[in-house]
Amino acid sequence: MHLCRCGGRVGNTTTNELPAKTFLKSPAKINLGLRVGPLSGDGFHPLQSLFVRVSLHDEIRVETTDRFALTCNDPSIPTDGRNLLTRAYHAYFKNLSNPPTFKIHLEKNIPWGGGVGGGSSNAAEFLKFLHRQKLCGSPSFEELLLIAKNLGSDIPFFMHSTPCYAEGRGEILTTVDPIPALPIILAGTGTPLATTKVFKIYDSTSPSELTPFPMDQAYQILTQRNGLGLEKIIQNDLQTVVEKEWPEMKRVRSLLENSGANYTSMSGSGFIYYSIYPSVQIRDYALQTLRNELPFIKGAHIL
């Protein structure tokens, strides 16, 4: 027995009541500043950051079918139970014996291991799609947020449509007003970093306890539409240790900083840096100049 939409009778209904085919856009995010505190007793590092979505996105095609299946254009991406899309599907319908089934195709444009939340975004967009269907027996919105939190620390952010100040493991969120659509470049080595190694090295530096994040100052600079001066107040605490261990990362930053950018920083603990530019024209010229210098480089803007 399939699910019917709420308000209808539960019976021998079919998945024809669901959209036959749906296309979802799944955006990346960047960390505008990333402060990381000492390892806590629960095995996690407390952090502070301003999360913003950017226009680089994956595409997810969802079709109703008679059995669940996931495919991906990138053969390096697992399509079994390790993939967050698969895990999101099973978590959403965990209390239902005969849920609707989908064939999902994931077209990856966001590189895996880049530190910009591609997998988390995939899961969040799929969860939101399921919730919009208003199926009988589906979780409430509060339960949906709990599912997102349990799946991964970054997923709750993508349930929102605005920038968020993040604390805790990244799951304690305070929404903030939208930021202007600043032109950016996302670039990197293309080689995922070992996150556990990054944090192990960081722990060896005896990090300090977190102090208040300069949210008002950062927001004021960002609303001036150029990012100039951000380097004086926010940084990624992991960047120094990463560049020391992986010197090729420092080369990426140097190329971006010398391409007319007003602010350049590593995002998260992955291999991607982002640069904020004073204009689209300067950004596009930098793209043209650096395209053959870096394994991964994309132009985008803040959403």
Active site residue 177: no
Tell me how far apart the alpha carbons of residues 221 and 149 are, in angstroms, rounded to a whole number: 31
Active site residue 58: no
Catalytic residue chosen out of the listed positions 58, 154, 237, 298: 154
Tell me how far apart the alpha carbons of residues 40 and 193 are, in angstroms, rounded to a whole number: 22
Residue 280: strand pairing partners: none
Asked if residue 125 lies in contact with residue 89, where contact means CB atoms within 8 angstroms, the answer is no
Q: Identify residue 303 by its one-letter amino acid code.
A: L
**Listed residue (101, 109, 117, 116) closest to 60, CA to CA:** 109
Extract the tokens encoding 56.
């680089």
- Spell 142-169 as b/e; 16+ CB within 10 A means b: eebbebbbebbbbbbbbbeeebbbbbeb
Q: Identify residue 232 by its one-letter amino acid code.
A: K
pLDDT of amino acid 45 = 95
Catalytic residue chosen out of the listed positions 29, 58, 237, 298: 29
pLDDT of amino acid 2 = 38
Residues belonging to the chain: 303
pLDDT of amino acid 7 = 43
Collect the ranges in the chain with pLDDT lower than 50. Answer: 1-16
pLDDT digits 0-9 by tens, 141-157: 899 999 999 999 999 99
pTM: 0.91
Tell me the Ramachandran region of residue 42: left when phi exceeds 0, alpha when psi lies from -120 to 50, beta otherwise.
alpha
Residues in contact with 69: Cβ distance below 8 Å, sequence separation at least 6, in sequence order: 102, 103, 104
Q: Determine the longest span between alpha carbons in the chain, in angstroms.
A: 64
